[in-house]
Amino acid sequence: TEDPAVLSILTESRNRVKSIALIHEKLYRTGDLGEIDFGDYVRDLVSDLLRTYRIDHERIRVSTHAEPVGINIDTAIPCGLIINELVSNAFKHAFKPGEEGNLQIELVAEGEDEYLLTVEDDGIGMGAEVNWEEGGSVGLRLVKDLTQQLEGYVECEMNGGTRFKVHFRRLHYRERE
């Protein structure tokens, strides 16, 4: 299809699947089916999204700081999807064509089994018409729902760009029936 709206939906769906597939790939490569190095995963996921959206590294500078944290699959999948949504949203909407900007992704431990993920851009910011708390888009609704699944909460600050702060807990593995 040549329809841009359909192509956009297909790209978003493909990116969601790829974010999950990358977790499984990392699990199998390490031989540890319990945990992955989430810092390494975040860097790889963001690199993949840069390629997917054909981001010009000279125009949009992306920095990633992720502590080497071991996270299990129950936590990694929803968190990976959250990162996918927030970074994709920034690439698609934060920067006007031809303008330069910065995107920062940071993951730090806040305590035992508690983490803070920050995705921040210095772009145009979300318009007043976007009520992210009500889930202004499918992606933002997904971020909110996945954060609740991780027993966390989301903060959004708009001041010369957009900053999402996702506070979440590491979920503990539950035996599969």
Residue with tokens 């992606």: 139
pTM for the model stands at 0.85
In a domain, 136, yes or no: yes
In a domain, 176, yes or no: no
CA pseudo-torsion sign 47, 161, 115, 85:
negative
In a domain, 76, yes or no: yes
50 and 57 Cβ atoms separated by less than 8 Å? yes
In a domain, 174, yes or no: no
List the domain range (segments joined by +) for residue 45.
Answer: 4-169
pLDDT in tens, 21-47: 677 677 667 766 678 888 888 999 999
Residue 75's H or E segment, with its range, is helix 73-93
Q: Report the domain count for the chain.
A: 1
In a domain, 175, yes or no: no
Strand partners, 105: 64, 119
pLDDT-based confidence at residue 98 (cuts at 50, 70, 90): confident
In a domain, 97, yes or no: yes
Q: Residue 46 is part of a domain; what is its CATH number? A: 3.30.565.10
